[in-house]
């Protein structure tokens, strides 16, 4: 069964699928939109209260980005040079990004949550000769646009969050961006027209940039940007700015719908709501559907290395297949490697897969194999093509020779009425090698009864998968901008105490 439009797709000599008739570059894409809708509202930046602070039409976006490009050229930036963006969410970030594209250079979005050491590493590793920094005015010069950039040119280098050491720079080509944007249209996340898309996640992350800002620009809609997330401002913005599209992690929706004044906000305008990045309890999905009565609610899965979208769960399956991240997007091929008991490492192929890691030939050779991306995620794929992510390959717990998939345990714990979120990991054990440990965070106003959580887990999991260590944590779990739990840092801080059994 085809869930998406599969027309206008061809395969190259290596078997990789491509969308036909795409623009050659992001600059060519933006020019088309400017020509079609010059006076339409392109970008809208909010203040801390969710009210309008600054806005640009598409003509203004083009003209101001071209002046930034001219300023970069006057500073010595040439085609192919790397330029780092060390700015927070806002219109200046977008002008910097498009200005870099118009200069023919390569954007290096910098995670604003990185330490100074990590920032220095990213700027140095990428060889960025110019850095956009907060507080400094944007470069301004004679308008300049480089039209000679093509699909294979590297458009941006997104550095991974560095959960396993220093971050690696994923080289995202013009073709990668444009493939992901078309996938966003075909899965119906960002349809053409006057859509209003609220960006509450960081623009330096592939969700905010690749699957919100850029597809909305191609659609001719409005990208509404929150400088930083505040739940009340988020709720007000949805109503005041007539938002159609929302993308975030489950915890944000849970926080929003549990605000005491949530009922004061009319959410009927929201048409599309995407969640991803963490296990989601079926009852939360039900509550989201009730809270956003007209929204098509969908799950998704993607990576920096896949330019964002890899799979998409169509809205009609959100209730019947809550454990799934969906099926492959139209130009993506999936397979499993090293399958055991139906679980293997998820491998991905498509024109959205990046060109490798910047300056990292060994890591590139290990991760990109004969056209396929090794995701590092363990998954199941059912007969209908629906994917279930069960764990990170490196996070899987080996308890006395039996594999325990952490995501499976976290999904079970997420259904407990008092558990807000959890992180499951291996605890070293002299006899078993590892035992299962869980850090659990209670819902606001609730307390965790460990014995009750264990009994609850036993009713849903095989005995060897039930956590033998449980630590209750009052603070939210540490996460990267994509919503994934930073287990490495969590392991370093948690004290497990005595085993429960």
pLDDT digits (tens, 9 = 90+) for 44-79: 999 988 888 999 999 999 999 999 999 999 999 999
Q: Which has more pLDDT, 357 or 117?
A: 357
Query: How do residues 99-141 score in pLDDT, each as one tens digit?
Result: 999 999 999 999 998 888 889 999 999 999 999 998 899 999 9
Q: Residue 302 to residues 97, 114, 125, 162, 404: CA-CA distances in angstroms?
A: 22, 21, 25, 17, 23
How far is the C-alpha of 241 from the C-alpha of 253, rounded, in Å? 18
The band of 293, judged by pLDDT with boundaries at 50, 70 and 90, is very high
Summary mean pLDDT of the chain:
93
Residue 36 lies in a domain: yes
Residue 422 lies in a domain: yes
| Number of domain units in the chain | 2
CA torsion, points 106, 107, 111, 114, in degrees to nearest 10? 50
Statement to judge: residues 250 and 283 lie in one domain: yes
Which of these three, 356, 390, 424, is where a domain ends? Answer: 390
How far is the C-alpha of 375 from the C-alpha of 310, rounded, in Å? 11
Which of these three, 390, 419, 441, is where a domain ends? Answer: 390
How far is the C-alpha of 426 from the C-alpha of 467, rounded, in Å? 10
Statement to judge: residues 84 and 225 lie in one domain: yes
The band of 482, judged by pLDDT with boundaries at 50, 70 and 90, is low
Q: Residue 129 to residues 75, 211, 449: CA-CA distances in angstroms?
A: 10, 28, 55
Residue 211 is part of a domain; what is its CATH number? 3.40.50.12780
Is residue 224 within 8 Å of 46, Cβ to Cβ?
yes
Which of these three, 360, 390, 420, is where a domain ends? Answer: 390
Q: What is the pTM of this model?
A: 0.88
Of 158-167, 217-226, 334-343, 366-375, minimum mean pLDDT range: 158-167
With pLDDT > 70 as the criterion, what percentage of the chain qualifies?
98
Statement to judge: residues 326 and 441 lie in one domain: no
Residue 470 is part of a domain; what is its CATH number? 3.30.300.30
Statement to judge: residues 262 and 380 lie in one domain: yes
Residue 452 lies in a domain: yes
What is the average pLDDT across 6-18?
97
Report the pLDDT value the prediction gives residue 1, as an integer from 0 to 100.
Answer: 73
Statement to judge: residues 187 and 205 lie in one domain: yes
Report the pLDDT value the prediction gives residue 162, as an integer from 0 to 100.
Answer: 52
Report the pLDDT value the prediction gives residue 398, as an integer from 0 to 100.
Answer: 83
Is residue 267 within 8 Å of 244, Cβ to Cβ?
no
**294-297-298 Cα angle (round to 5):** 155
The residue segments making up the domain with residue 216 are 15-390
How far is the C-alpha of 146 from the C-alpha of 239, rounded, in Å? 39
Whether 471 has a pLDDT exceeding 70, the answer reads: yes
What is the average pLDDT across 30-34?
98
How far is the C-alpha of 129 from the C-alpha of 134, rounded, in Å? 16
Whether 358 has a pLDDT exceeding 80, the answer reads: yes
Statement to judge: residues 338 and 452 lie in one domain: no
Residue 351 lies in a domain: yes
What is the average pLDDT across 395-402?
80
Residue 7 lies in a domain: no
Statement to judge: residues 84 and 231 lie in one domain: yes
Among 274, 309, 310, smallest CA distance to 292 is for 274
Pairing of the two strands 17-19 and 52-57: unpaired
Residue 430 lies in a domain: yes
With pLDDT > 90 as the criterion, what percentage of the chain qualifies?
75
What is the average pLDDT across 359-380?
95
What is the average pLDDT across 412-423?
91
Question: Residue 194 has what DSSP assignment?
Answer: S
Residue 51 lies in a domain: yes
Statement to judge: residues 383 and 399 lie in one domain: no
Is residue 390 within 8 Å of 408, Cβ to Cβ?
yes
Residue 500 lies in a domain: no
Statement to judge: residues 400 and 371 lie in one domain: no
Q: Tokens standing for 81?
A: 């040079």
Give the dihedral sign, CA 236/237/242/243. negative
Query: How do residues 139-178 score in pLDDT, each as one tens digit?
Result: 999 999 999 999 999 999 999 865 456 789 999 999 999 9
Statement to judge: residues 269 and 381 lie in one domain: yes
Statement to judge: residues 155 and 273 lie in one domain: yes
Q: Tokens standing for 34?
A: 């400017």
Statement to judge: residues 341 and 411 lie in one domain: no
Report the pLDDT value the prediction gives residue 442, as an integer from 0 to 100.
Answer: 93
Report the pLDDT value the prediction gives residue 245, as an integer from 0 to 100.
Answer: 97
């Amino acid at each position: 069964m085809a869930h998406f439009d599969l027309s206008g797709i061809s395969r190259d000599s290596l078997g990789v699928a491509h969308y036909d008739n795409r623009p050659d570059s992001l600059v060519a894409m933006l020019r088309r939109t400017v020509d079609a809708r010059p006076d339409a509202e392109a970008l809208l930046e909010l203040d801390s209260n969710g009210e309008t602070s600054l806005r640009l039409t598409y003509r203004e976006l083009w003209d101001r980005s071209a002046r930034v490009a001219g300023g970069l050229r006057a500073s010595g930036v040439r085609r192919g040079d790397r330029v780092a963006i060390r700015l927070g969410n806002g219109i200046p970030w977008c002008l910097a990004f498009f200005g870099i594209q118009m200069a023919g250079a390569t954007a290096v979005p910098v995670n604003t949550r990185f330490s100074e050491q990590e920032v220095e590493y990213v700027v140095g590793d990428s060889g960025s000769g110019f850095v956009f920094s907060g507080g400094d005015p944007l470069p301004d010069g004679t308008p300049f646009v480089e039209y000679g950039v093509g699909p294979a040119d590297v458009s941006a280098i997104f550095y991974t969050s560095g959960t396993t050491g220093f971050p690696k720079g994923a080289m995202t080509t013009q073709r990668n961006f444009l493939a992901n944007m078309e996938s966003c249209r075909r899965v119906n996340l960002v349809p053409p027209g006057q859509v209003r898309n609220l960006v509450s996640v960081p623009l330096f992350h592939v969700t905010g940039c690749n699957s919100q800002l850029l597809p909305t620009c191609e659609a001719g809609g409005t990208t509404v940007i929150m400088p930083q997330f505040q739940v009340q401002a988020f709720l007000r913005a949805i109503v005041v700015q007539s938002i159609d599209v929302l993308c975030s992690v489950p915890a944000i929706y849970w926080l929003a719908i549990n605000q005491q004044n949530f009922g004061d906000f009319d959410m009927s305008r929201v048409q599309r709501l995407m969640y991803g990045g963490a296990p989601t309890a079926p009852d939360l999905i039900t509550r989201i559907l009730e809270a956003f009565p007209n929204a098509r609610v969908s799950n998704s899965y993607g990576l920096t290395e896949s330019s964002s979208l890899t799979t998409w769960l169509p809205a009609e399956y959100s209730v019947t297949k809550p454990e799934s991240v969906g099926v492959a997007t139209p130009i993506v091929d999936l397979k499993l490697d090293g399958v055991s008991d139906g679980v293997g490492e998820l491998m991905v192929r498509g024109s959205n897969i990046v060109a490798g890691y910047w300056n990292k030939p060994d890591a590139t050779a290990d991760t990109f194999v004969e056209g396929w991306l090794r995701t590092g995620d363990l998954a199941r794929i059912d007969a209908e093509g629906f994917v279930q992510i069960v764990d990170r390959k490196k996070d899987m717990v080996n308890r006395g020779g039996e594999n325990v998939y952490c995501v499976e345990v976290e999904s079970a714990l997420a259904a407990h009425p008092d558990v807000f979120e959890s992180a499951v990991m291996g605890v070293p054990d002299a006899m078993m090698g590892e035992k299962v440990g869980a850090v659990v965070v209670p819902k606001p106003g609730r307390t965790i009864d460990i014995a009750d959580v264990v009994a609850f887990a036993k009713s849903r999991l095989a005995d060897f998968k039930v956590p033998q260590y449980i630590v209750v944590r009052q603070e939210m779990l540490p996460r990267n901008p994509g919503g994934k739990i930073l287990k490495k840092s969590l392991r370093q801080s948690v004290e497990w105490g005595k085993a429960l059994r």
